[in-house]
Amino acid sequence: MKKLLKAAVAVSVALSCTPAFADKNDKNEVFTSSTFKAMELRNIGPAYMSGRIADIAIDQNNPSTWYTAVGSGGVWKTTNAGTTWTPIFDDQPVYSIGDVTIAPSNSNIIWVGTGENNGGRHISFGDGVYKSLDGGQTWKNMGLKKSEHVSDIIIHPTNPDIVWVSAQGPLWSGGGERGLYKTTDGGETWKQVLKPADKWTGVTSLLIDPRNPDKLYAATWARQRSIGAYVGTNEGAGIHTSNDGGETWTELKTGLPQGNMGKIGMAISPMNPDVIYATIETDNRGGGFYRSADQGASWTKMSDEVGGGTGPHYYQEIFADQHQFDRVYIASNYSKVSDDGGKTWTPINTKRKHVDDHAMAFHPTDPDFVLMGSDGGIYMSHDRMANWRFMANLPLTQFYKVAPDDSKPFYKIYAGAQDNSTQGGPSRTMREEGIKNKDWFLTLGGDGHGPATEPGNPDIMYSQWQQGNLTRVDMKTREGVYIKPQPLPGDPAERYNWDAPINVSAHDPARIYFASQRVWRSDDRGDSWTPVSGDLTKNGNRMHSPLMGRTWSVEAGWDLYAMTEFHTIANFAESPVDENILWAGTDDGIIQVTTNGGKSWKKIELDDIKGIPANSYVNDIRADLFDPNTVYVALDNHKYGDYKPYLIKSTNLGKSWTSLADDLPEKHLVWRIVQDHVNKDLLFIGTEFGLFFSVNGGKDWVELEGGIPTISTRDVKIQRRENDLVAGTFGRGIYILDDYAPLRSLTEKSMQQEAILFAPSRPVKWFQLDDNHTDSDGDDRFVAENPEHGATFTYYLKDSLLTAKEKRQEAEKKLIEDKKYPKYPSWEAVEAENQEAAPAIYVEIKDSEGDVIKRVEGKVKKGLHRITWDMKHTSTAPLTDKESKDRGLMALPGTYTATLFKRVDAKVTPLSEAVSFELQPIYQGALEGATYEEIAAYSNDVSRAQKRALSSTTVLTQLKDTMALLRTAIDRTPSDVAKLEAQFAAIQDEINEVNRAFYGLKSRDKMGIKPANIMSRLRYARSALGSSYGPTQQHKDQLGYAQNSLDSVVTRISTLQNTAVPKLQQAVLDAGGPWTAGLPVIAK
């Protein structure tokens, strides 16, 4: 009866949607990622706290070349010992890395194991192992795609085709590819040479004897993590050895712990490979450090040292020093070093270094050199860890949530980072150089989580560290007030999610919502709180959850130190249309909604929604910006081993649901969804491996690939004033899509037009770019790019503009495809191709008077493109050669128009109507200067004077060149040249006088005595246009002096050019001398 009743009230979900776009296989389809690559995202870092490092490999043949495996950010390479870095794995389908290994016999052969190699709650999964034969320039997936987490790769010391891979296997579920795998053909085929005891056990550490490549050691490990719990010890863990290259194995037991073991880290002494070290976890976070002096035949417990902090599962890597026997390191939350084989330990210096270490690497010849990788990036020491240098040029921060504010002129972005605090920084700067690490700051320590900003008030923001520790920050004083809601006497303990949801009301900026297992409301920015719900979760006991196929008692290998509370509200939303409609989504499979401000709640269990797993985690819940009855929910089941994306929508307050995930790629689990505030059908989502948008309400999705690597996009926000999309990634910092507004108007129908032009959607920020702050602080710094300075236009071309040659090549290609082969074209046709002018696309800028200011050329290929006008006039200065740069003066604030044109075969055709936009100054000076009209008039006067001066000096240079020719011509004249010499001397004297008027005397200038001349006065006059203040009286005076002098010298130059010099040239020719350039052609 209960089953029948449940079925009767079950909420239905539509699993199919009628596609609004052309079929994906339609050759004419335009809605593809390649079409939109011009919508390029801009990484703003930061790099001053970096991110988690999983492994480091130093090329022992070239110690300045290092490879870094980033736990959540791909693979990076440096060839100059960390001065500069290059990401080399960005185009691969995964980003989580566990291991990177260089072939000892060939430094160009690099292997990468994907899927981070610890048991943390926030790690991603991989898709096997990759190999590069060219030092990381290109990669090939070599299989083991179901391994998900690779801990170690060892390459045979002399035969790089022999490789061993230790696979931990899936963290969240059983099965997959686990154990130790071996290839003897470079990865083309694999053999499982060490099979685990069960579907929960894999291999977590692997060693090879440097003297004997057939001697191997492998540590096995059984573990499983769920949303609310973790057990990492079981019967399957142990240490095994092989004497035949891994074909057969023997478990080592003598002296090792009895009973369940957990994660085991191993190292072998490079100086005496008979000595093996192991740090072994046992139940209840116990264990110790063990040493064997006989190749593992027997072991001695040296101390109780194991990985600490959040638990051995997260650390437990040990390293034997290459230069000192029995010196061994354990990477942990507070790493330590032992000089006696693990008996006693000394903490390493962390005064100026991030804790939480995972990786180490050593120099082949320098015993004092150490690299260490932590949750905060890479550190280098040249004095055996007494002091550290931080690599502040790796933007690897793992951000959970981001929040842009409304600061002016440039908004700031706040972001909560895994183990790296809550950080804040500018979306751009006024500097030509861009955004530097020093532009960033912290608002709160710990693991940073969801920040929030108050709309319209950048002086108030909210920060929190894990599990609901909420702080309100006054950005004027930078002081924080701790405002975490507290239970009343007798209330049950609050259960806060690791990343507790906060919401600033769209109806009242002083109202904020926060959530534990219940929803809290404050109407005074957190000074006081009122619960507006009871417990909205399933309120179970996480310790009863089965792990590794069974339940566990007290003594098991639990690890809850860095676990989120379970049965919590994971996400929350307030309807911006109706303040009484609130939504809550839990981590245990429930959606709750109230339509009366929390007086009563309606429960929607996910197992009542067809196609949705019952216990799915609510990654995000967003109330529609336009319709109070509509809500979007992103669901996540990957912590139950299900990597399918789930995204659903309801238009009737949760009574029925529609899937929006049908068009998403597999494994792209959805983290966040956001709706455009202008076009209700324009949606953006962040997924496990990318960033997508939809222009039809989620029926079809297009990935934004420009400027962003494969990375988990954990949060997506919109800065409404600027129409910017802000994406927080989990391992590559923050990305911004500047002015995404063109996406609002692009549909498959509109893109059938020949072309579309979009003006900037908001006033363009007018200011003088600061180019005076280019630091001379070396090449090892990180600087993020600002957006291009100026007005950026987006345009779309349905088809490419092709040359005759390209058209012929396309036609020939089609003939070849049809087995019809082309003939050689005529000579005339080939010559016409060679002489054809290439087609062009440009945007023409006009001012409010209709005068053309500039033409900005763009790309002619089909698709979407972006070009930027630098807010300067086209320079009309004299052209002296084809390389002359366009250095026009700054245009002034005001209204302008832009039109898209094409030029084909010398014919110019408009492709769009004129679109209007505005240049708007971002600041008001302290002193009142000239008006924009006065500056414009002065600018025109300066431009005219410069044109006169430059044309004169150009002619003067040409006259000097002609005189040099005449000198030779007179010397070669076969007649009396006395008169010619006199003429030549007089002209040369006149040229010298005019030259002095422009430039002064070189001999006097060398002594530092530099009286004003025409060019120096013009330079001074032009300097007034470098600020918005405009010209002073002195600037005007200098311009006037220059203009007066020009009146005189221009007349003199004209006489030289048109009379004196041509007359002398003709006289030389008449006297039988050579013809010189500038004379008419010799007719007969």
pLDDT at residue 23, rounded to an integer: 37
Claim to verify: residue 856 and residue 977 sit in the same structural domain: no
How, if at all, do strands 657-659 and 13-14 pair?
parallel
The residues, ordered by sequence, that sit 6+ positions from 341 with a Cβ below 8 Å of its Cβ are 275, 277, 291, 302, 326, 328
The answer, yes or no, to whether residue 560 has pLDDT greater than 90, is no
The answer, yes or no, to whether residue 27 has pLDDT greater than 60, is no
CA angle 554–558–561, rounded 5-degree value = 120
Claim to verify: residue 1003 and residue 870 sit in the same structural domain: no
AA identity, residue 183: T
Q: Which two tokens stand for residue 734?
A: 């923050």
Cβ atoms of residues 629 and 689 within 8 Å: no
Instruction: Compute the distance between CA of residue 193 and CA of residue 203 in angstroms, rounded to an integer.
Output: 11
Claim to verify: residue 173 and residue 85 sit in the same structural domain: yes
The answer, yes or no, to whether residue 4 has pLDDT greater than 50, is no
Give the structural domain span for 991. 932-1070
Q: Flag whether 1081 is in a domain.
A: no
Q: Which single residue is written with the structure tokens 């006054």?
A: 474
Q: Flag whether 745 is in a domain.
A: no
Phi, psi of 151 (to 5 degrees): -95, -45
Bridge partners of 765, per DSSP, are 920
pLDDT band at residue 19 under the 50/70/90 scheme: very low
Q: Flag whether 378 is in a domain.
A: yes
- Average pLDDT in the 65-82 region? 99
Instruction: Compute the distance between CA of residue 1021 and CA of residue 1029 in angstroms, rounded to an integer.
Output: 13
Claim to verify: residue 1004 and residue 1063 sit in the same structural domain: yes
CA angle 996–998–1002, rounded 5-degree value = 45
Q: Which two tokens stand for residue 271?
A: 């100086």
Element (H, E) at 943: helix 932-971
Cβ atoms of residues 71 and 420 within 8 Å: no
Phi, psi of 959 (to 5 degrees): -65, -40
The residue among 150, 154, 181 whose CA lies nearest residue 168 is: 150
Q: Flag whether 794 is in a domain.
A: yes
Claim to verify: residue 178 and residue 213 sit in the same structural domain: yes
Mapping DSSP to helix (H, G, I), strand (E, B) and coil, where does residue 810 land?
helix
pLDDT at residue 969, rounded to an integer: 96
Claim to verify: residue 318 and residue 252 sit in the same structural domain: yes
Mapping DSSP to helix (H, G, I), strand (E, B) and coil, where does residue 575 land?
coil
pLDDT band at residue 212 under the 50/70/90 scheme: very high
The answer, yes or no, to whether residue 754 has pLDDT greater than 70, is yes
In eight-state DSSP terms, residue 1025 is G
Mapping DSSP to helix (H, G, I), strand (E, B) and coil, where does residue 121 land?
coil
Bridge partners of 208, per DSSP, are 216
In eight-state DSSP terms, residue 750 is G
Phi, psi of 231 (to 5 degrees): -130, 130
Percent over 90 (pLDDT), the chain: 91
The answer, yes or no, to whether residue 138 has pLDDT greater than 90, is yes
Q: Flag whether 660 is in a domain.
A: no
pTM for the predicted model, two decimal places: 0.94
Q: Which two tokens stand for residue 523?
A: 């109407």
pLDDT at residue 677, rounded to an integer: 99
pLDDT at residue 15, rounded to an integer: 33
The residues, ordered by sequence, that sit 6+ positions from 601 with a Cβ below 8 Å of its Cβ are 533, 534, 536, 584, 592, 593, 594
Claim to verify: residue 846 and residue 973 sit in the same structural domain: no
Return the minimum-mean-pLDDT range out of 67-71, 143-147, 809-813.
Answer: 809-813
Phi, psi of 999 (to 5 degrees): -120, -10
CATH of the domain at 305: 2.130.10.10
Beta strands in 944-1067, from DSSP E residues, in sequence order: none
Beta strands in 762-910, from DSSP E residues, in sequence order: 764-766, 783-784, 791-797, 840-847, 852-858, 863-869, 894-904, 907-910
Instruction: Compute the distance between CA of residue 356 and CA of residue 120 in angstroms, rounded to an integer.
Output: 12
- Average pLDDT in the 710-732 region? 99
Instruction: Compute the distance between CA of residue 717 and CA of residue 727 in angstroms, rounded to an integer.
Output: 6
Instruction: Compute the distance between CA of residue 63 and CA of residue 60 in angstroms, rounded to an integer.
Output: 5
The larger pLDDT score, comparing residue 11 to residue 53, is at 53
Return the minimum-mean-pLDDT range out of 101-105, 517-521, 881-885.
Answer: 881-885
DSSP string covering 481-518: EE----PPTTPPPP---TT--EEE-SS-TT-EEEESSS
Claim to verify: residue 184 and residue 161 sit in the same structural domain: yes
Instruction: Compute the distance between CA of residue 685 and CA of residue 718 in angstroms, rounded to an integer.
Output: 12
> pLDDT per residue over 583-593, tens digit each?
999 999 999 99
AA identity, residue 461: M
Claim to verify: residue 244 and residue 281 sit in the same structural domain: yes
Q: Which single residue is written with the structure tokens 């008996």?
A: 343
Q: Dihedral of the CA atoms 968, 970, 974, 976 (nearest 10)?
A: -150
Q: Which of 390, 417, 449 is the last residue of a domain?
A: 390
Claim to verify: residue 92 and residue 145 sit in the same structural domain: yes
The residue among 678, 669, 674, 719 whose CA lies nearest residue 693 is: 674
Instruction: Compute the distance between CA of residue 389 and CA of residue 372 in angstroms, rounded to an integer.
Output: 10
> pLDDT per residue over 363-416, tens digit each?
999 999 999 999 999 999 999 999 999 999 999 999 999 999 999 999 999 999
Claim to verify: residue 139 and residue 243 sit in the same structural domain: yes
Cβ atoms of residues 668 and 687 within 8 Å: yes
Q: Flag whether 877 is in a domain.
A: yes
Q: Which two tokens stand for residue 316?
A: 């437990």
- Average pLDDT in the 850-863 region? 97
Cβ atoms of residues 574 and 595 within 8 Å: no
pLDDT band at residue 770 under the 50/70/90 scheme: confident
Q: Flag whether 165 is in a domain.
A: yes
Phi-psi group of 352: left, alpha or beta (phi > 0 → left; psi -120 to 50 → alpha; rest → beta): alpha
The answer, yes or no, to whether residue 165 has pLDDT greater than 80, is yes
- Average pLDDT in the 536-554 region? 95
The answer, yes or no, to whether residue 21 has pLDDT greater than 50, is no
pLDDT at residue 773, rounded to an integer: 66
Q: Which two tokens stand for residue 594?
A: 């109230």
Helices marked H in 96-153: none
Q: Flag whether 652 is in a domain.
A: no
> pLDDT per residue over 916-959, tens digit each?
999 999 988 899 999 999 999 999 999 999 999 999 999 999 99
The residue among 717, 698, 600 whose CA lies nearest residue 645 is: 698
Claim to verify: residue 940 and residue 796 sit in the same structural domain: no
CATH of the domain at 863: 2.60.40.4070
pLDDT averaged over every residue in the chain: 94
> pLDDT per residue over 255-310, tens digit each?
999 999 999 999 999 999 999 999 999 998 899 999 999 999 999 999 999 998 88
Q: Which of 921, 955, 973 is the last residue of a domain?
A: 921
Q: How many domains does the chain have?
A: 3
> pLDDT per residue over 976-1035, tens digit each?
999 999 999 999 999 999 999 999 887 777 777 778 999 999 999 999 998 899 999 999
Report the side by side order of strands in the sheet with 412-417.
Answer: 399-404, 412-417, 422-426, 441-444
Q: Which two tokens stand for residue 962?
A: 């002609």
pLDDT at residue 7, rounded to an integer: 32
Cβ atoms of residues 162 and 184 within 8 Å: yes
The answer, yes or no, to whether residue 689 has pLDDT greater than 70, is yes
pLDDT at residue 1065, rounded to an integer: 96
> pLDDT per residue over 79-108, tens digit each?
999 999 999 999 999 999 999 999 999 999
CA-to-CA separations, 492 to 231, 401, 488, 543, 709, in angstroms, rounded? 27, 28, 9, 18, 45
Q: Which of 390, 422, 441 is the last residue of a domain?
A: 390
> pLDDT per residue over 122-136, tens digit each?
999 999 999 999 999
Rg of the chain in Å (alpha carbons): 36
Phi, psi of 981 (to 5 degrees): -65, -40
Q: At what angle do helices 978-999 and 932-971 cross, to 10 degrees?
A: 160
